């Protein structure tokens, strides 16, 4: 879904690039992120996206290994969301040398950094893992 949505946005919806208001708090707007989350370290990786892909690929392999060792389906699913989202962004960097972001949430003039469906999967997976860790702590 992530790769499909990015292709539709880049090739169809955002031709020409523009801001498309969807609701009072949501716009579609095309941007490219050469860094990690929220554009952090973009200057470091702009000229060498391969390094970021190598680091992220190592993390994805670690997450997949962790998921394969998980004893609960919910933990494996959360790890799969994180790994899948990271893989979607790796594929984007390989295709476009940057991650395509297009979801723009805002309140008035304040805008959250643009993101994509891979970022949603990563965030949901992380929230699920954190939530499960609190439940595990309460069960001890």
pLDDT tens for each residue of 43-99: 778 777 788 889 999 999 999 999 999 999 999 999 999 999 999 999 999 999 889
Residue 137 has pLDDT above 70, yes or no: no
Q: Which residues are catalytic?
A: 101, 119
Q: Is residue 16 part of a domain?
A: no
Domain count across the chain: 1
End-to-end CA distance of the chain: 38
Positive/negative CA dihedral, 128, 88, 56, 98: negative
What tokens appear for 104 in the block?
Answer: 């723009």
Positive/negative CA dihedral, 84, 46, 115, 28: negative
Confidence of residue 139 (pLDDT cuts 50, 70, 90): low
Confidence of residue 138 (pLDDT cuts 50, 70, 90): low
Q: Is residue 50 part of a domain?
A: yes
Q: Is residue 110 part of a domain?
A: yes
Beta carbons within 10 angstroms of residue 91's beta carbon: 16
Q: Is residue 25 part of a domain?
A: yes
Residue that the structure tokens 């992380």 belong to: 126
Residue 140 has pLDDT above 60, yes or no: no
Range of the domain at 49: 21-34+43-138
Please provide the average confidence, as pLDDT, over all residues in the chain.
91
Q: Is residue 123 part of a domain?
A: yes
This model's pTM is above 0.85: yes
Q: Is residue 9 part of a domain?
A: no
Q: What's the pLDDT at 35?
A: 84
Confidence of residue 118 (pLDDT cuts 50, 70, 90): very high
Q: Is residue 7 part of a domain?
A: no
Q: Is residue 14 part of a domain?
A: no
């Amino acid at each position: 879904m992530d790769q499909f949505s990015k292709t539709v946005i880049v090739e169809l919806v955002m031709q020409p690039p523009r801001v498309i208001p969807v609701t009072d708090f949501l716009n579609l707007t095309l941007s490219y992120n050469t860094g990690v989350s929220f554009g952090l370290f973009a200057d470091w990786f702009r000229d060498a996206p391969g390094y970021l892909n190598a680091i992220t690929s190592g993390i994805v392999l670690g997450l997949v290994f962790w998921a394969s060792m998980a004893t609960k389906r919910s933990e494996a699913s959360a790890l799969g969301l994180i790994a899948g989202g990271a893989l979607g962004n790796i594929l984007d960097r390989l295709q476009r040398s940057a991650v395509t972001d297009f979801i723009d949430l805002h309140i008035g003039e304040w805008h959250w950094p643009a993101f994509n469906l891979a970022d949603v999967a990563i965030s949901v997976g992380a929230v699920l893992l954190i939530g499960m860790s609190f439940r595990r702590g309460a069960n001890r």
